[in-house]
Amino acid sequence: MENLDAMARTRWAVETFGEELILTTSFGVQSAVMLHLVTQIAPRMPVVFIDTGYLFPDTYRFAEELQRRLELNLHVYQPQMSAARQEALYGKRWQQGAEGLKDYNFINTVEPMDRAVRELGASAWLAGLRRNQASAREHLPVLQKQNKVSKIHPIIDWDNRTVHRYLTEHGLPYHPLWEQGYVSLGDWHSTSPLTVGMSEEDTRFGGQKRECGLHEISGQPDFQI
């Protein structure tokens, strides 16, 4: 898999897993790359979008733009508890240290994704992770097993120049907040623009962690992804 290019990796995944393959997107800074690349091969592949209820307004508008343009087979999953109810009962968990952040991520991203995997009958998952995005991703393979699901990272070895070239060649947009210095996007309350002296990892969760929970292997035996 390391010796294949992104298109070949994606074709292999489509041929191997068929209807049990899904693609996830955050509609982040460079999400148009994976959405375009994958839908050129499998136009009707289910695309899972986890809407935490705390995304930037620009993200929702960007999602609408790309859904119309690429005719995505979009499946939106949300937490079972609304943002307002969560804050009323538990406060702002993302400000409550490591344990609070873990609980917040589980309710808002991990559980909805777990539900998506089960309801869509997925056994494999295409994700747009890249090794140069964070130290935690430096050694990720193209193909890995995350509990019961196989994860495929077609553009894992792409750098920012390659991403930019792909977007330019296909006339695809960056997320609008890219122009304001955002290099990684998640919830509005836990995402900062990149400034002098910061790494990309520092822009998420105040530098406490890079991942929102979706790309970390859970120790819970009933956790599907």
Task: Match 């589980």 to its residue by tokens.
Answer: 106
Q: Can you tell me the distance from the alpha carbon of 178 to that of 8, in angstroms, rounded to the nearest whole number?
A: 29
Is residue 126 classed as helix, strand or coil in its secondary structure?
strand
**CA-based radius of gyration for the chain:** 17
Active-site residue, selected from the candidate residues 42, 117, 212, 214:
212
Query: Is position 212 annotated as part of the catalytic site?
Result: yes
Strands 149-152, 143-146: pairing kind:
antiparallel
Total residues found in the chain within this entry: 225
Q: Can you tell me the distance from the alpha carbon of 97 to that of 32, in angstroms, rounded to the nearest whole number?
A: 33
Selection from 95, 113, 61 nearest residue 218 by Cα? 113
CB 21 within 8 A of CB 119: no
Angle of helix 57-70 versus helix 32-41 axis, rounded to 10: 20
Q: Which residues are catalytic?
A: 212
